[in-house]
Chains A and B, each alone.
Chain A
Amino acid sequence: MSAIETPRVPTPAIARPTWLDRVRARPNVRTAVAAALPVGFVTVLLFVPYVLLLVQSFWRLKGGAITHELTLENYQRLFGTELYPNTILFSAGVAIRVTLFSLLLAFPLAYLLAFKVKRHKQLMYMAVIIPLWVSYLVRAYAWKIILGQSGILNGLLLSTGLIDHPLTFLLYSRWAVILALTHIYTPFTLMPIYAVLEAIPPALKEASQDLYANRWQTFRRIILPLSLPGVLAGSTFAFVLSMGDFLAPQLLGGNDSALMVSNLVWSLFGVAYNWPLGAAVSVIVLLLTISLLWLSTQVEKSMNYAGESASRDRREVGMAGRGV
């Protein structure tokens, strides 16, 4: 009867590192292996096309054929006529309106979701986000069905006797485009705003009220300033995405759609067969967008109390939006 029984299982030998262990132990190698695929993907599918686009914008169109002679003609033509700058400005105008309307819808909704809704919060949030899973094309097309001459809205108005003839101005105008884009991009605006509002500790609101600020003062001096990074991120989403939008103007814009920059680029690459000029317009819009993203990131950085995640998301979405 020994006091302690000797275990039967033999003690395992001390392990020696294999070559795989040695590779894994080197962080540089690990990073390289992990990054190879995504970096390759981005290089081939994003970086190379952008470089090609840039190169092409300096090519010359001679007698209907694209030559590889380098020239500044495309840019001279672009800035020489009023058409192209005006198109860019018009698109920006549409995008600004979409941004404003999206903000007006998204901010109160995000505020309600973050602070007032207590039960089924996740469900309500999903209700806002789920439409994003529906194909963009379907959502844009739905507006055609709603706004069309024999569409749902006209049918409703006719049946109530408010109008005698179907309204024709509803569809095929920049307002139809703005309406559809607002509908499509409001969730994008809502998400970052909701995220920042959710992240505001309830104690800050209480502290403000504890220090004699009423509800409105608390909103103006605490909630609103702290939500600005999200508002900025959301606005940038809405602006960049709707400025580069192609389908909604094509489907709903009618004659106005020709005034949107994406559709212009599309026709330059298509019917007009002027790829170099199309590339030049793309490059200018790309530069504008990048500077906007840079600017909004800078502004957000100055609000140093906010997290940096919002700005990173924005850059990604912005670039994706530009990849028409």
Chain B
Amino acid sequence: MTNTDASLDLDKLTRRHETFTMPILELRRLTKRFGDFAAVDDLSLEIAAGEFLTLLGASGSGKTTTLRMIAGFEPPTSGDILMAGIPIAALPPFKRDINTVFQHYALFPHMSVRENIAYGLRMRRVPTEEREERVGKALAMVKLEQLGARSPRQLSGGQQQRVALARALVNRPRVLLLDEPLGALDLKLRKEMQLELKHLQTHLGITFVYVTHDQEEALTMSDRIVLMRQGRIAQVGTPRDLYDRPASRYVADFIGETNLLPGTVVESAGGAVALRMGGVTLRGLSDCLLAAGSEAWLTVRPEAIALSDGAAPAGHNAVTGTVADAVYAGSALRVHVTLPGGRRLVANVPSGTVTTPGAPVTLTWPIEQGRCVGD
């Protein structure tokens, strides 16, 4: 008995593994132009089945246009979209096995919550009995069992958001697209829904393609983040990749809070880079090819920096400056330090630290905590 169970489990595991490695969606050199403006510019991307992928970017970066092309609302100018290997760019939205949660929910105002959720099943001619059962389950999934008869207008923003989610998920799509679904909710509710969405996605195993401009949201929820900039991919990777190993100054600046120190590359070998900034040499790691003599930035997160009054320990960078300001932020004390030349650094240090504005201070951080990046 244990034997069969084990083999079954193994079978399940392998299948899960297989589905995880084969891309459910593939974007090939996808381009969308509006007149002269390229909203999405030669974008190629593979999305694995069961993945929570976030398209992150400032407004105008092309993330929503990309989503709308996947949904079928916007025909690509060139390039192709493949779903499980089949090109779908020519399919109208109603023939795609993809559902969308819209930014402002787009619930049908003349239908009850139940009718809204049943809409997709009705269009697919799912038999009444099965339809009712699935709608009931979907309502239970988003914890709105009691509100099925209500009109969407009688619901709060958070509840409307859940209906939109249920209306999409009841169809069991292979891919769910979410266009800033939490954008209209207040902060507390948004945080709750982030966790709930992530939990739901893991539980259902449906591929989520999630659009947001909120980097914190992206870091919290995603398996992978695609950071977009001017219609192109700035960097793809896990949240940790983007945070710890940004590929460019733009990424470092966009994701989280960071200090950026400009300098000239004086040495670059085997992923270790030395930058000359003012009279100081700073060392850091890099994944990019930075030629000696080129301009680059060293990025270091505030939480990596420590205050020290002596010399830097081995394997650390050190800069000296004067304390400009110290702001109490609950869990940490944010110390602003002015470097010679006027540039400022922020260090998050334990909130018990005592600092005096105007006092000289030395900032140190381990070399591997600093990343050298190009523009």
Contacts and interface: CB of A to CB of B under 8 A. Distances in A.
B108 interface: yes
A116 B104 CA distance: 23
A44 interface: no
Given A203-B102, A206-B93, A212-B120, A305 B167 contact: no
Interface in B60-110: 71-73, 92-95, 98-100, 102-104, 106-110
B235 interface: no
A115 to B, nearest CB: 14
How large, as a class, is the contact surface on chain B? 20 to 34
B94 A226 contact: no
B151 A211 contact: no
B54 to A, nearest CB: 20
A216 to B, nearest CB: 11
Nearest to A204: B106
A210 B124 contact: no
B364 to A, nearest CB: 40
Contact of A210 (B99, B103, B109, B151): B99
Interface in A179-218: 201, 203-204, 206-214, 217
A207 B106 contact: yes
A148 to B, nearest CB: 48
B123 A211 contact: yes
A206 B73 contact: yes
Contact of B151 (A207, A212, A305): A305
A163 B319 CA distance: 102
Contacts of A209: 72-73, 92-94
A222 interface: yes
A212 B123 CA distance: 6
Contacts of A212: 94-95, 120, 123-124, 171
A28 interface: no
A225 B110 CA distance: 8
A203 B167 CA distance: 14
A305 B112 CA distance: 11
Given A206-B73, A207-B100, A209-B92, A201 B110 contact: no
A209 B153 CA distance: 22
Contacts of B20: none
A222 B110 CA distance: 8
Contacts of B73: 206, 209
Contacts of B123: 211-213, 217
A221 B124 CA distance: 14
B109 A305 contact: yes
Nearest to B93: A209
B250 interface: no
Interface in B37-64: none
A304 interface: yes
Contacts of B153: 304-305
Among A201, A204, A207, A225: residue with most chain B CB under 10 A: A207
Contacts of B72: 209-210
B93 A304 contact: no
Contacts of B104: 201, 203
Interface string A298-313: 0000011100000000
Contacts of B167: 211
A204 B93 CA distance: 13
Contact of B109 (A206, A213, A221, A226): A226
A304 B58 CA distance: 38
Nearest to B107: A207
Interface in A206-263: 206-214, 217, 221-222, 225-226
Contacts of A221: 119
A154 B153 CA distance: 57
Contacts of B119: 208, 211, 213, 221
Contacts of A203: 102-104, 106
A276 to B, nearest CB: 48
Contacts of B99: 210-211
A229 to B, nearest CB: 10
B106 to A, nearest CB: 4
Among B103, B107, B110: residue with most chain A CB under 10 A: B110
A307 B91 CA distance: 36
A208 B168 CA distance: 11
A222 B108 contact: yes
A302 B248 CA distance: 58
Interface in B134-171: 151, 153, 167-168, 171
A14 B124 CA distance: 72
B74 to A, nearest CB: 10
A304 B151 contact: yes
> Sorted from nearest, which 6 A-B pairs have the closest CB atoms?
A211-B120, A305-B109, A203-B106, A207-B106, A212-B123, A209-B93
11 contacts: A203-B102, A203-B106, A208-B119, A209-B73, A210-B98, A211-B167, A212-B171, A213-B94, A214-B94, A303-B110, A305-B110
Interface of A: 201, 203-204, 206-214, 217, 221-222, 225-226, 303-305
Given A225-B110, A226-B110, A305-B110, 10 more contacts: A201-B106, A206-B73, A209-B72, A209-B92, A210-B72, A210-B98, A210-B168, A212-B120, A212-B123, A212-B124
